[in-house]
Structures are given as C-alpha cells and as structure tokens.
Amino acid sequence: PVPHKRWYRPLIELSLVNMYAPNTDAPKFIKSLFKVILQHSTGLLLVGGDFNCILSQILDRLPTPKTPLSRMSRMLKYQIIETGIYCKHYPS
C-alpha cells in the first residue's frame, strides 16, 4: 500500500535571518544589514544571532558601566525603532 500524504499550504510567510556582527564598533554594518533585510524579507520577520553589542547596559552588564552605548548599539536601537521591527529582549 502507498502511504497517504497530506500537503498543507503555509498559513504565514516567514523570513528568518541569522547574523553574526563584527566584534568592532561598526554601525554601518547594522545599517546596511537592515537595508538588505527590509528589501528581501516577506511576511513575518525573525532576526537572531550574535549582534556583538548590547541594547541595555542595565540589563546586560553588571556592574553597570558609566560609558555610553557604542555607536553600533545606538544604530541597532535606531533601526529597530525606525523599521518597526518588534524586539523582545530576554535578560541574560
């Protein structure tokens, strides 16, 4: 007997992005990455990976440093807000 197969149509479109950012302060990398992501993604967008920067010094570092966020961290926050990408942060 031939096994019965069921084919389901996808209910949602999903774009997955896994990235590894340079471990230097490279805001241009983040800006160009988001530009490419927005040009080529469709449906829901899930971005993950190693950004090599922090979004919140209070949540990500103890003791909290007195230095300001890096330029790359500020660019990442700006791109998240400007593009409307929803980011849920889980403290480590």
Can you give the residue ranges of every domain in the chain? 14-83
At a CB cut-off of 8 Å and minimum separation 6, what does 58 contact?
64
Q: How far apart are CA 81 and CA 10, in angstroms?
A: 29
Question: What DSSP character marks residue 45?
Answer: E
- For the stretch 5-32, pLDDT in tens is 666 666 778 888 898 999 999 999 999 9
Q: What local confidence, expressed as pLDDT, does residue 25 receive?
A: 94
- For the stretch 82-91, pLDDT in tens is 877 655 544 3
